[in-house]
Structures are given as C-alpha cells and as structure tokens.
Amino acid sequence: MGKVLQALRYILVYTVLIIIAIMVIYPIAFTVAGSFSVGKSLATTSVLPIPRDPTLEHYRRLFEETKYPLWFANTFKIAVANTGLSIVLTLISAYIFSRFNFRFKKAGLMSMLVLQMFPGFVGMVAIYILLYRMGLLDTHLGLVLVYAAGQVPYNTWLLKGYFDTIPKSIDEAARVDGAGHLTTFLRIILPNTMPIVTFLGVTSFTAPWLDFIFPRLILRSEDKKTLALGLFEMIRGRSNDNFTMFAAGSILVAIPFVIIFAVNQKYLVKVMSAGAVKG
C-alpha cells in the first residue's frame, strides 16, 4: 500500500511539473514559430507551434525596414552603464553600512527600506521635473540615473547582509598588516563576494532591458528609442499588421539574457543555493 501511495505521489508531482513546463514553454515556442511564419499576422500560425513554410523574411525586414539595430545598441548601452553605475554605488554604500558606525546609520537603512515599499511610477512626476531642471530629458544619461537610483536601496540591503557574514576580524588582521580600507575592500572583501556581485550585475543589466514606462516618459527622439519603445511602435495603431516581425524582434531580445545566464551560471547557482557559504 505504501509503495502504491508513493507511486501516486510521484505521478501527481510529475504531472503538475509537466503542466507547468508546458504553460511556460508553449508561449515561447509559439512566438518562435510566429517569427518564422509567412504573413504579418500571428493568426496564420497553427495551434501547434510549428511554422508552415518557415522563412527568415521577418528577420530581414526587421534589420532593413526598421531601426532595430539602433534600438538594440541604445538599450545595450543603457543596460551596461546602469550595471556599472549601480554596482559601484551599491558596493560603496553596502560596505559603509556594514563596516562603519556613524550617526543616522539605522535611519539611513530604514529610509532605503521604506523607499522600496513604493512602486517606481509613484514618483514619475517628480522624476520628470528633476530631469527637466537638470537638462537630462530625452537623454540616455537621465534614464541611467533613474535606473541606478532605483536599484541602489534594495541592492544595498542585499549586499550589506552578505558583507555582514564576513567576519570583521579579517578586516582587523588586514589593517594590522598595514592595509587601508580601500585595499582591504578590493583584495579581501570583494573577492569573497563575487557570487552576489555577479547576481546583482545580472539583475541590474536585465532590469532596464525591456522596461517601457520610464523610457516612454523620458525619451522623445527617434534616435534615442530603446527596444521596448521601438517594438511597441510596430504593433500600436489600427493596422496592427507587424506581429510576426514583432515576434522576430522579441526572439532576438532574448539572446543577451541567454548569454549572460550561461556565462554566469556558476555564480548564480552558488548565490541561490548557498549564498552565505564562502570559499
């Protein structure tokens, strides 16, 4: 009886997992099939995600009839700049909050925690006015500053907790040997936190990749558009006849994600499975 119940349990678990996998994979497969299908509408795609008479026409049109390469370059530039700036700011702030005692330290941490409770679009009016006063509207720099400022509070909390797991006696031993705070941080603390830093780098890169709200608020010029804005322009309006080309653009958008996760898989798995364990 016990073996029967165990077998039924395994069957139920695997059935649920297979259903979830199908629910996740099917939309992706349908999009891939649509990008290779003939015609401009996804309605021509069959229920089974297998394109009839597959073609690369939509990918050709994407590069020849639109500014997709420019949109891709703009988005990549913004994502890389945001990753670099947010990681630097997060490392500095997290190290200070973890290793130093000063007035209003607790108040500063609580303020960052409270800020994370409000969605980003709550401050859209204030952000717009600030960027207007600073002359950063319709610039990629303004967008990068918005993204980096929005990510620093949460990332600081996360990285501070990771720094706290490293014994302060290591810092004290380094200072006895004549190392300053900067040397201690760069040569001792930072190498031991590479998994979490890599994780934050990946999330900082992916966050602005397909964000639509803030680019729509800040950017106006055609040559400043990001992927989200450019792809949206394909399918808005009454015609709505570019869904297959939109599918092709969406597939290409995923390529950087696949590369990043493949390259950093070791660090990402380490963070998710045993983030507090140091080598």
The hierarchical CATH code for the domain 67-274 is 1.10.3720.10
pLDDT tens digits, 231-243: 888 877 645 567 8
Q: Which of 264, 244, 118, 128 is nearest to 200 (CA)?
A: 264
- Report the range out of 18-27, 49-58, 186-195 with the highest average pLDDT: 18-27
Q: What is the DSSP string of 99-152?
A: H---TTHHHHHHHHHHHTTS-GGGGHHHHHHHHHHHT-TT-HHHHHHHHHHHHH
What CA–CA distance (Å, rounded) separates 211 from 218? 12
Q: 272 falls in which pLDDT band (50, 70, 90)?
A: low
Distances (CA, A) of 55 to 33, 37, 137, 247: 10, 6, 40, 13
Res 264 pLDDT > 70: yes
Query: Is the pLDDT confidence value at 39 over 90?
Result: no
pLDDT at residue 78 greater than cutoff 90: yes
For the ranges 9-13, 123-127, 212-216, 267-271, the lowest mean pLDDT is seen at 267-271
48 pLDDT above the threshold of 80:
no
End-to-end Cα separation, the chain, in angstroms = 46
DSSP helix, strand, coil percent of the chain (3-state; round to 5):
75, 0, 25
Instruction: Look up residue 185 and give its DSSP letter.
Output: I
Q: In whole angstroms, what is the distance from residue 97 CA to residue 105 CA?
A: 7
User: Does residue 20 surpass a pLDDT of 90?
Assistant: yes
Q: Among 99, 112, 116, 109, which residue's Cα sits nearest to residue 165?
A: 99
Non-local (6+) Cβ contacts of 264 within 8 A are 198, 199, 201, 202
Helix (H, G, I), strand (E, B) or coil at 52: coil
Q: Which residue has the higher pLDDT, 236 or 272?
A: 236
So where are the chain's domains? 2-55, 67-274
Q: In this structure, what token pair is assigned to residue 146?
A: 């918005």
CA 108-149-164 angle, 5° bins: 45
**What pLDDT, on the 0 to 100 scale, is given for residue 277?**
46
Can you tell me the distance from the alpha carbon of 222 to that of 248, in angstroms, rounded to the nearest whole number?
21
Average pLDDT over residues 71-90: 93
pLDDT at 268: 66
pTM: 0.81
